Chain A
């Protein structure tokens, strides 16, 4: 018992010692460990904390789809009033391989808010009424989304990619029917077993010093030198095909291009941007109604997910166009001039995506969670080359496809 207590105290003592010995000059810059980072922004007007927890659909049984999401929302519901008293707000972000949280607080109260929030996340159990409120709100949200062509098309693409009976093929944020049947005891069990600091990454952004930021994070995360071990889908993703018909007036096309085990994320994000520019809705492309391009991560890879909503008469043409775009990106590097113009626009878009401190904190936490390090957006973009973009496109595996067409 006593040895256990000493062992538990060691990481914290090591962190305090490291802080005491840290050269003062380094505190002006970003400080990052394998799983925690502090990005001081002295002129900011709000402080954001993002935490990614290694929990989600991969650890849920069939009948408990959405338990991780409900647990995350219950934590926020439990602590919302105390945070509000400090002028802070917390929210949940649901990913397939992780549950994300962001906390936004005024500079004057961020420290107290972060302590309250981290304590609620990792050390306390939400009360029954907090779980009930979270469940009611989540069921309502999921019910609204389910049954729409968009939800069905996304689900079909996951089934084509992971296999129909894989737990990864389920909606990552849960299903209303299963969530409605979950109780507070199951939520507390999930929190005890999956929501633990050793399986989480965190980033703090705003008008804080690296020293005080690290003090707060280290008190919770202790020794953050070991990376999060990420779950891998079993069996591995495949190039399947799912075709559905429904009473719609549009056609939904979906692709899931598998990523390699160690993806070049900055280059793949640029590729995603190129696809958005080339395929997205525009006055010159009136037949394109909507486009979604995102990169989903899991252990040993992930997928570039593309969904295109299109005039049914033009679906074949655009299906070929999208795949041809990826093929050409993998074989022919862009000219230097075109690459320069594209990256200039991409950097602007990326910076706008990260315009708020909570967006920057969540982005940094995701990088720490999946890639065990953090690279600011401008450095990441400036390090890109035409050949890196080509190689990233070439690293994609053969895609799984889904189509939802008018029946």
Chain B
């Protein structure tokens, strides 16, 4: 999602989930016209299975699978999803390596994500490994040592995020702009009291079919891809009070879950401005972010970026920058004022040529990010996580193509009349 010259600028800092569309079919169906560059995609929900989105690439000898489970960690279980993905990592990587493939796991702001890529003719093996990984601790015999090791990794990741200025300022701004989202890091909560049983119970209630989605891209037919996810190992909505209670994290209390407030070793002051923009078109905001990034690059504000943060419910245009050495953060030349001036300059100087250039780059970056099976699965999956719509990526590219200078100028003028949320970290 960050627009900083990287081809993956638009991928989300976090993948925000909306309720999946209700119109999913039992059989694969094309969700977009054949002229769509990223599609068409086939969408299905096999019996008791997760949502399955398939982009067939018959000429590809590779297949990429990306499974995302929407996660909400109740109080006392903050950070538990990180432990789950770390427990799955070794077996998933080993299964992929056995066929010359590779695997990765990640806890995004909203999801636990499991990825695997390998030869298309090994698809069933890769899908089976992914299902096993997503089954979580309930599907594997978790020993105390494995749990302890995963916990240490999860705690180290959380500490690293809260101990580094840029991730910390992002987390602060995210909490201000998207208060309904919890904290990925668990704010340093000690996971020492987490038991295998409690983790298994929570994950079993969390990783239901209705909260899970698989994207398959590459040399596999849609029917074959869908069949691999029938009979989902994680039961679809156990329902009842027990399941609901487990999802809320109720049960035997964790031992000594002592909050440990982060104490970042900040040496650089960072400032982040977030303009709420829920009423604006995300494609227009993406082009506006691209123009702002260009403006920031020319302003000499090193390390600054302009980004679009969005999910189905909320959108925000975000600007971040570190304070240059020797500044005190106040006054006319402050980072905050320079960021605000960049917004004003772009809003007042929008022209058709600049918008066309930014639009072309934005489309190009999405297409280039999707040029491998792995990248394509990530592009489709990330947008699916964010919006709940299986063909959101296709529609986003189409919408980008339609953005005009007037749209961008109008959106930026509206933002200037909005009071931005501000987050700072300082030494």
Interface on A for B, CB 8 Å cutoff?
40-46, 85, 87, 104, 106-107, 207, 344-352, 355-357, 376-378
Contact = CB atoms under 8 A, between A and B. Distances in A.
A129 to B, nearest CB: 20
Given A348-B119, A351-B119, 19 more contacts: A43-B55, A43-B56, A43-B60, A45-B367, A45-B376, A85-B360, A87-B360, A87-B364, A344-B100, A344-B122, A345-B100, A351-B61, A351-B62, A351-B100, A352-B62, A352-B102, A355-B62, A355-B374, A356-B371
Most chain A C-beta atoms within 10 Å of own C-beta, residue among B97, B119, B122? B119
Nearest to B360: A87
B101 interface: yes
Kindly list the 8 A-B residue pairs having the minimum CB-CB distance in the complex, ordered from nearest.
A348-B100, A87-B364, A345-B100, A355-B372, A46-B371, A43-B57, A45-B367, A45-B370
Given A43-B60, A344-B100, A87 B363 contact: yes
Contacts of A355: 62, 117, 372-374
B58 interface: yes
Contacts of B49: none
Nearest to A105: B364
Interface string B340-372: 000000000000000001001101100110111
With a 10 A CB-CB cut-off, give which of A348, A356, A357 has the most chain B CB atoms: A348
B62 A345 contact: no
A340 B357 CA distance: 51
A149 B360 CA distance: 43
B71 interface: no
27 contacts: A43-B56, A43-B58, A44-B371, A45-B38, A45-B368, A45-B370, A45-B376, A46-B371, A85-B357, A87-B360, A87-B361, A87-B364, A106-B363, A344-B99, A344-B122, A345-B100, A347-B119, A348-B122, A350-B100, A351-B100, A351-B118, A352-B100, A352-B101, A352-B118, A355-B117, A376-B61, A377-B61
Nearest to A43: B57
B267 interface: no
Nearest to A87: B364
Interface of B: 37-38, 55-62, 97-102, 117-119, 122, 357, 360-361, 363-364, 367-368, 370-374, 376
Nearest to B369: A45
B99 A348 contact: yes
Contacts of B368: 45-46, 104, 106
Contacts of B361: 87
Given A43-B58, A43-B60, A377-B61, A106 B367 contact: yes
A355 B363 CA distance: 21
A78 to B, nearest CB: 20
A345 B61 CA distance: 14
A40 B363 CA distance: 22
B393 to A, nearest CB: 11
Contacts of B371: 44-46, 104, 356-357
**Which of B102, B357, B372 has the most CB atoms of chain A within a 10 A radius of its CB?**
B372
A13 B368 CA distance: 35
Contact of B367 (A46, A345, A348): A46
Contacts of A41: 57, 59-60
Given A107-B37, A107-B367, A349 B100 contact: yes
A356 B367 CA distance: 12
Contacts of A207: 37
A46 B371 CA distance: 6
A352 B117 contact: yes
Contact of B100 (A43, A104, A347, A357): A347
A351 B376 CA distance: 16
Nearest to B371: A46
Contacts of A45: 37-38, 367-368, 370-371, 376
Nearest to A376: B61
A42 B101 contact: no
A364 B10 CA distance: 31
A87 B397 CA distance: 14
Nearest to B373: A355
A152 B415 CA distance: 56
A271 to B, nearest CB: 16
Contacts of B357: 85
Contacts of A104: 368, 371
A104 B369 CA distance: 12
Contacts of B56: 43
A378 B101 CA distance: 14
A90 to B, nearest CB: 13
A377 B119 CA distance: 11
Contacts of B119: 344, 347-348, 351
A207 B36 CA distance: 12
Contacts of B55: 43
A349 B101 CA distance: 6
Nearest to B368: A46
A87 B367 CA distance: 10
B102 A43 contact: no
Nearest to B57: A43
Contacts of A378: 61
